[in-house]
Structure 1
Amino acid sequence: MRGKPYETAGNGGVVTDRDVVDRVRALLDEDGKFLPVLGGRGEGVLTGIGTVAGRWVAVWANDPSERAGALTSQGMRKVLRLTDLAVRSGMPIVYLADSSGAALQEGPASLIAVGEVYRALIKASRRVPRLAAVLGGCVGGGVFFAASSDVVVGNLSGGYAFVSGPRAARFFTGEEVDVQELGNIRNSFSAGTVQLVGEDEVSCLRVLRRVLGYLPSTTSEVPPRTGGWSPPSSRPEVPGGEDEPYDVRDVIAALVDEGSFIELDAGHGEAAVVGLSRIAGEVVGVVANQPSERGGLIDSRSAEKMARFVSLCDRFNIPLLTLVDTPGFLPSRSEELSGLPRHGSKLLHAYAVSEVPKVAVILRRAYAGGYVSMCSRGIGADYVMGLPNAIVAVQPPRLAAEIIHRRELERADPSAREELLRRLSEDYERTFRGKEALIANGVVDEVVEPGALRERIVGVMGALVESYRKRLKNRSKFYFIPY
């Protein structure tokens, strides 16, 4: 069914009616079943369960042909029933968003129902994965349903997401702004509200299906393993010069199975790269500093991004591979004012409480709090490797020498000061760089040549994952969800 364009109640924009049944069918297996829950379609929402790659999932989708997909109290009752079924049966929950927000005509009844659903979904996150796709409008209460999901995909050709629309902006602040200025998907991608994007609805649903293949059905299970994987076609290469930029995605591609890496949050916190991958068929979460962005310095946005991803992997029993190459946290007045200590502590907390297998590789340099927070031995790494030329120290050699020997440098003849500083820096560097120093200082378990790194990671991960699976049956914990 295709309807006519209509004006939504909550944001003053115009969208095109899409058939909610077609959307759900496009997500599910072609030959799979769909079982309606509380009647399936009606009250502005379609609810039911179906299969994705043969695995049962719970799906709810706003129906924009009925009151612009408004969140009615009766529609929310259906979502509560579906959520309860998903948690008890161990099914991932998928939300297809295209809603104008709470039903204006219902008043508080709609708001209470939205709150009840939000509470149920957040509690469900401790048990099952939650994914969302912003296919059309996602405003008001609906945007919180999507934004609190584990992975959100945004439709570049028709999706938009915001809390309050143009009419509210004009009413409360006098600001004149249109729907796309407020909530176009590219802005949401940059803000971290959505983690992945698709050019159209079909591509968004394909992305959802692919991501589901990397997640278990519940927090008490491990992710599905695949056979027939292909090793990478390249080997990892890291520049020798400490300040030479490079794209860590090339290193990731050389370590994970060919074509398996799904980068999340690429538009947000660019000083870090995170994503789901496979190594020898096993799902592995990858966390990495990005030296091509400010040398890999960790800022507030990248710290928050990494913390959320580490927490996601811990909840769903996904082992972590952390690739370290950072001078530390970004020294900046604006960063301190933006709450860098608070965001940095989230990263430390996420690693410290995580129980999944954690392997870290020091690619080139790891200084100060950056070293500590990036899955160091002290914060809980199970196994740490380093490349032969890596260094771990409190500060970069030159800066450390300036601080330690400041009085000696002040007394030195100005013409000889630079040469003295160079010599002192080299002495400091020799103490902490290279194979012997890394092992003697207790920061790595072994030093590995780049060409052997993939094979070594496969072996270490295999041993750790096997042990973890044996412990998983008795695992019980509170899950920290850093939204």
Structure 2
Amino acid sequence: MTEEYTLPFVPAGDGDIPRLDELRLRKELAATGPDPTATERQHARGKLTARERLALLLDPDSFTELEPLRRHRATGFGLEHSRPYTDGVVAGWGTVDGRIVFVYAHDFRIFGGALGEAHAEKIHKVMDLAISAGAPLVSLNDGAGARIQEGVAALAGYGGIFRRNTAASGVIPQISVMLGPCAGGAAYSPALTDFVLMVRGTAQMFITGPDVVTAVTGETVTRDGLGGADVHAERSGVAHFVHDDEAGCLADVRYLLSFLPQNNRELPPVVPTDDPVERRCPALAELVPETGTTPYDVRAVIAEIADDGAYLEIQERWAANVVIALARMDGHTVGFVANQPQCLAGTLDIAASEKAARFVQMCDAMNIPLITLLDVPGFLPGVGQEHGGIIRHGAKLLYAYCNATVPRISIVLRKAYGGAYIVLDSRSVGADLALAWPTNEIAVMGAQGAANVVFRKQIAAAADPAAARAELVARYARELMHPYYAAERGLVDDVIDPADTRAVLIRSLIMLRAKHAEPPVRKHGNPPQ
């Protein structure tokens, strides 16, 4: 590697020509990187090089590189014999669909992409610029962690990255793309960002590797089994998106950016659409069965009302009992939060509460209006849920909604019972508009459970308890759970025809577009953890 970075002899000439030739040579060395065998090894692993990845992510010929001639200053443990340009990270800015995006990409061919002092300072520089310029930051992660030969200086470099991740949170979109290993403290930077994308088979994230796990616990596990893409997509919830190849992953990053604003002071970009604002949606009546216990796929509802049926679902495989997605209505980005009756009957549990809460916070920070589709029988009951802290985790979602100042509209499709109804952006926690379909049932609990509590003595004393229970259940439903009960008390703004859902939502969003809400003066809140 050292020989590949030895500057060739440049003959003397007139004026500054030798200096310009030397500069060109140095930049060529920085761009070509290490010897060709390192590139071959990278490709053999099924991975692209850092610059190949940037070429897929950014618009053609838009990349401007920062500090391509940077080299480390370490002089011990063999590093003095190898001082490659870039120091293992390519950083700078370019455009995606014509909009500025800041990027850095680990170059695994140089020191395995390990982070040293100079490497970290380049990342700090591009992060500071992203915050100052008010533009998204995308990191392409493929590194072996801290550079051991540089000791604590490498660890301090990670601290600077984490501090800047936190400073940028809620200010600019931050997207982490996992294209290789990410172990130890390095994994905390992606965890602090808004979105994490992983490529199956090549990307892994974990705090302690398989060898340490085996030594400490006796458990045997592979790298993918411990922290692969599928594990983080289904079990931990760390990964928002998973892809089979790098090209598809980077294409999805471009698509994701199209929904997001440049920063928290701007609105998301508007995409022209031919989908009529007043388009009726008669199919909704068939998509959602009237019987409250019959399952259906709520994603079909989102597709029916969104522009051109298009939406981007986030964390699709984790906590599937709630669906979160970005879509467009009349060309404007919106965020959907919806109960999914196909999974756990659409109940809220610990994982679903955390998933939805983080999404609500992201939408609020990035000026994305929220639409909540309710069909929820309540929180998932069980000892495991209670002992796992469903109270604390459910409160995260409640806090996120109460704290959100973007336009918020909720629609009860069928049932909305108990605390889950309140938490999911009810009128009482600050929804700007609360709507319902004629199939709605809004109550403390279902009629069966309510009648068993309210009329317990009458049922027990009846000559035919079963008949008495049926009659009292029907009475409770008829008097306290009819579709207009909440509307009569001002807790629902209107009961609408399902076919008019798209038109009503878009008209409401247009009305709320200039909404201004002044949050209370405080250093910051103290959300439940």
Name the TM-score, length of structure 2 as normaliser: 0.85
Q: Note closer, same or farther for the CA distance 1:276–1:465 as it changes in structure 2 (3 Å cut).
A: same
Aligned to 1:277: 327
Whether the 8 Å contact between 2:330 and 2:506 is mirrored in structure 1 is: yes
Q: Note closer, same or farther for the CA distance 1:61–1:23 as it changes in structure 2 (3 Å cut).
A: same
Whether the 8 Å contact between 1:5 and 1:16 is mirrored in structure 2 is: no
Q: Which moved more, 1:438-447 or 1:58-67?
A: 438-447
- 1:216 equivalent to 2:261? Answer yes
| Pairwise CA distance, 1:445 | 0.1
Whether the 8 Å contact between 2:406 and 2:515 is mirrored in structure 1 is: no
2:53 match: secondary structure? helix
1:43 match: secondary structure? helix
1:362 match: secondary structure? strand
Picking from 251, 275, 284, the partner of 1:206 is 251
Report the AA paired with residue 49 of structure 2: D
| Pairwise CA distance, 1:15 | 4.8
Picking from 205, 224, 230, the partner of 1:180 is 224
Aligned to 1:387: 437
Aligned to 2:473: 425
Query: How large is the RMSD of aligned CA atoms in angstroms?
Result: 2.5
Aligned to 1:83: 127
Aligned to 1:341: 391
Q: Which moved more, 1:319-328 or 1:22-31?
A: 22-31
| Pairwise CA distance, 1:6 | 10
Please give the per-residue CA displacement for 1:404-456, whole angstroms capped at 9, x wherever unaligned.
1111112122xx11111111111111223344313113221000011111111
Q: Which moved more, 1:426-435 or 1:185-194?
A: 426-435
| Pairwise CA distance, 1:17 | 6.1
When Rg is computed on C-alpha atoms for both structures, the one with the higher figure is: 2
Whether the 8 Å contact between 1:143 and 1:163 is mirrored in structure 2 is: yes
Aligned to 1:25: 55
Please give the per-residue CA displacement for 1:170-189, whole angstroms capped at 9, x wherever unaligned.
33333332212112111111
2:216 match: secondary structure? helix
For these two proteins, the number of residue pairs brought into alignment is: 474
Question: Partners in 2 of 1:419 and 1:173 — Cα distance?
Answer: 58
Q: Note closer, same or farther for the CA distance 1:112–1:481 as it changes in structure 2 (3 Å cut).
A: farther
Q: Which moved more, 1:219-228 or 1:162-171?
A: 162-171
Question: Partners in 2 of 1:480 and 1:314 — Cα distance?
Answer: 17
Question: Partners in 2 of 1:86 and 1:261 — Cα distance?
Answer: 27
Q: Note closer, same or farther for the CA distance 1:71–1:35 as it changes in structure 2 (3 Å cut).
A: closer
| Pairwise CA distance, 1:230 | 2.9
Aligned to 2:488: 440
- 1:55 equivalent to 2:103? Answer no
Identity of aligned residues (%): 34
Aligned to 1:99: 143
Please give the per-residue CA displacement for 1:16-45, whole angstroms capped at 9, x wherever unaligned.
664111111110001424242564762221
Unaligned runs of 5+ in 1: 9-13
| Pairwise CA distance, 1:401 | 0.5
Picking from 194, 202, 210, the partner of 1:166 is 210
| Pairwise CA distance, 1:89 | 0.7
Question: Partners in 1 of 2:342 and 2:329 — Cα distance?
Answer: 24
Question: Partners in 2 of 1:5 and 1:177 — Cα distance?
Answer: 29
- 1:118 equivalent to 2:172? Answer no
Question: Partners in 2 of 1:325 and 1:287 — Cα distance?
Answer: 11
Whether the 8 Å contact between 1:93 and 1:128 is mirrored in structure 2 is: yes
Picking from 456, 460, 477, the partner of 1:406 is 456
Please give the per-residue CA displacement for 1:115-136, whole angstroms capped at 9, x wherever unaligned.
1211111111131110011111
Q: Note closer, same or farther for the CA distance 1:3–1:302 as it changes in structure 2 (3 Å cut).
A: farther
1:187 match: secondary structure? helix
- 1:356 equivalent to 2:406? Answer yes
Q: Which moved more, 1:30-39 or 1:217-226?
A: 30-39
Report the AA paired with residue 390 of structure 1: N
- If each structure's strand is expressed as a fraction of its own residues, which one has the higher value? 1
Whether the 8 Å contact between 1:432 and 1:441 is mirrored in structure 2 is: no
1:275 match: secondary structure? strand
Name the TM-score, length of structure 1 as normaliser: 0.92
Question: Partners in 2 of 1:222 and 1:335 — Cα distance?
Answer: 38
- 1:257 equivalent to 2:287? Answer no
Q: Note closer, same or farther for the CA distance 1:15–1:176 as it changes in structure 2 (3 Å cut).
A: farther
Tell me which stretches of 4 or more aligned residues in structure 1 moved more than 6 Å.
Answer: 5-8, 471-477, 479-483
Aligned to 1:132: 176
Picking from 460, 468, 483, the partner of 2:508 is 460
2:270 match: secondary structure? coil
Report the AA paired with residue 454 of structure 1: R
Question: Partners in 1 of 2:87 and 2:488 — Cα distance?
Answer: 67
- 1:310 equivalent to 2:360? Answer yes
Q: Which moved more, 1:97-106 or 1:339-348?
A: 97-106
